[in-house]
């Protein structure tokens, strides 16, 4: 489990058909083969460590459902290691399972994202959303877009401060909302279909 509190920015070292390499000098020596890592909000498994380069397998499904498929060498990415049971939960429960890609329509600090309207059922004002692995609080929610405020600290330690209009971002909706929908058999209101 992740919390959406990004630990570091990494830099893309290489992108292969099914392999991604990230330069992560600060913690590469603390990782082991088989560890999970959140890269821009996508849970990946460490399969190789070569000095400060952390290598992870990436399947076609992941490249297609996330913005990892558009990464190029030297791009910055948000990185987080999972939390251990009993540690403080500073953000919210994040699985690292991207639901959909959104599109930036206004850049931070008042960040607006457009997304497929069928996902609106998972969003409520003052609820949680994960954008590129960053846990944020929703400010406004409309049928196919929402806003968050990105504080200066978060702008400086994540990629969100560099996102421009038109950039694609990974979105993970609150897992609790998805379970409530499943358990209660939630029906999507007509205006969101």
Report the CATH number that the domain containing residue 165 is assigned in CATH.
2.40.30.20
Q: Based on the fold, state whether residues 179 and 118 are members of the same structural domain.
A: yes
Quick check: is 95 in a domain?
A: no
H runs (alpha helix) in the chain = 60-65, 152-157, 175-184
Identify whether the C-beta of residue 130 lies closer than 8 Å to the C-beta of residue 42.
no
Tell me which residue range forms the domain holding 30.
8-80
The reply to whether 46 falls in a domain is yes
Total tally of structural domains belonging to the chain = 2
Check whether residue 65 and residue 108 sit in a common domain: no
8 Å CB contact between 158 and 132: yes
Dump pLDDT digits (tens) for 31-59: 999 999 999 999 999 999 999 999 999 99
Instruction: For residues 22 and 106, state if they share a domain.
Output: no
Q: 105, 96, 178, 92: which is closest to 142 by C-alpha?
A: 105
Q: How confident is the model at residue 187 (pLDDT cuts 50, 70, 90)?
A: low
Residue 92's pLDDT band (boundaries 50, 70, 90)? confident
Residue 88 in any domain: the answer is no
Q: Note whether 177 and 125 are same-domain residues.
A: yes
Instruction: Kindly report, residue by residue over 99-124, the tens digit of the pLDDT.
Output: 999 999 999 999 999 999 999 988 98
Q: Hey, how many other C-beta atoms are within 10 angstroms of the C-beta on 88?
A: 7
The reply to whether 149 and 188 lie within a common domain is yes
Supply the pTM of this predicted model. Answer: 0.89
């Amino acid at each position: 489990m992740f919390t959406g509190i990004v630990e570091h920015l990494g830099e893309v070292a290489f992108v292969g058909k099914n392999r991604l390499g990230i330069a992560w000098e600060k913690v590469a020596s603390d990782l082991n083969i088989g560890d999970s890592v959140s890269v821009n909000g996508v849970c990946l498994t460490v399969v190789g460590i070569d000095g400060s380069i952390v290598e992870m397998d990436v399947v076609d499904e992941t490249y297609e459902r996330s913005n990892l498929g558009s990464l190029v060498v030297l791009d910055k990415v948000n990185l987080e290691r999972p939390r251990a049971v009993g540690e403080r939960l500073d953000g919210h429960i994040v699985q690292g399972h991207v639901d959909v890609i959104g599109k930036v329509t206004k850049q931070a600090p008042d960040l607006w994202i457009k997304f497929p309207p069928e996902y609106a059922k998972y969003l409520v004002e003052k609820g949680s959303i994960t954008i590129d692995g960053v846990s944020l609080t929703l400010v406004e929610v409309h049928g196919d877009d929402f806003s968050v405020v990105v504080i200066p600290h978060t702008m400086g330690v994540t990629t969100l401060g560099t996102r421009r209009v038109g950039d694609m971002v990974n979105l993970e909706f609150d897992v609790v909302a998805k379970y409530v929908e499943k358990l209660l058999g939630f029906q999507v209101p007509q205006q969101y279909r």
